[in-house]
Structure 1
């Protein structure tokens, strides 16, 4: 009789799972970096006018005010043009406190460089835009930019 038993020949060794946590964290990190967070849900129809000279601005010091008719999901708010700031409809008299609150949320060194972007539907009346600009003046927010689509060459 032999002293040693012969084990089963041809068995595969178990798969090593030592590197599995590394792979999981690498995938998690990739998706965290590659995912873009949505800024706000658009609750109005917003067809921007076209322009031929445009400049891109960083979004880290910018707040956007949208103006236009409510979209089809929000028809309960009527057909008149409305103002949207972040994810809520606001009235003209709420523009100043909303903008000041958004400016206060910024880092202290970016607050003097704060810019308000107006994304106004091209069917919106100029009176509403003028009212928004008056409220921005009251809030001492004088850096205002108009957001437009790039003009396409035909």
Structure 2
């Protein structure tokens, strides 16, 4: 009887030719979907401290309003300014800002929008009360005052 020799020339290597393509696709995906910073804060921010804080449920329904002295006083002056979305606005423009922010949301979520005020501890109460009045005119009833947690 003749012996048949089993000749097998198959290789046990794993093909890695497509591996760089997969890595670059993942890299591009994360580069496109990652948000590094939403706004550049151009006012001073020393937030007050508080003892009782509540965490927000949905941050997508929050629009931020920053109030404080400008970081560049030679360009913008030394009086407290109102900043929203990388621009300074006047108190009369707040109603328009709120309406633009509401238009970004779906109709169901428009009444759930929360306006978060990040006010510098040195800011005068007059500008804060003016902003509150404008929020009332714009029918933005949920107002949040941001603060830091007291550690003592």
Question: Common fold, TM-score beyond 0.5?
Answer: yes
**Alpha-carbon shift at residue 55 of structure 1 (Å):** 1.2
| In structure 2, C-alpha distance between the alignment counterparts of 1:16 and 1:116, rounded to whole Å | 51
Corresponding position of 1:128 = 127
SS in 1 for 2:144: strand
**Alpha-carbon shift at residue 30 of structure 1 (Å):** 4.3
**Alpha-carbon shift at residue 27 of structure 1 (Å):** 3.1
Q: After superposition, where does 1:33-48 map in structure 2 within 5 Å?
A: 35-48=34-47
| In structure 2, C-alpha distance between the alignment counterparts of 1:54 and 1:68, rounded to whole Å | 22
Unaligned runs of 5+ in 1: 1-14
**TM-score for the superposition, normalised by structure 2:** 0.82
**Alpha-carbon shift at residue 20 of structure 1 (Å):** 2.0
**TM-score for the superposition, normalised by structure 1:** 0.81
Unaligned runs of 5+ in 2: 1-14
Q: Does 1:150 align with 2:146?
A: no
| In structure 2, C-alpha distance between the alignment counterparts of 1:16 and 1:52, rounded to whole Å | 57
Q: How many residues are aligned here?
A: 137
| In structure 1, C-alpha distance between the alignment counterparts of 2:105 and 2:60, rounded to whole Å | 8
Q: Does 1:86 align with 2:79?
A: no
Corresponding position of 2:20 = 20
Corresponding position of 2:109 = 110
Runs of 4+ that moved beyond 6 A: none
**Alpha-carbon shift at residue 32 of structure 1 (Å):** 4.6
| In structure 1, C-alpha distance between the alignment counterparts of 2:134 and 2:30, rounded to whole Å | 42
| In structure 2, C-alpha distance between the alignment counterparts of 1:122 and 1:131, rounded to whole Å | 17
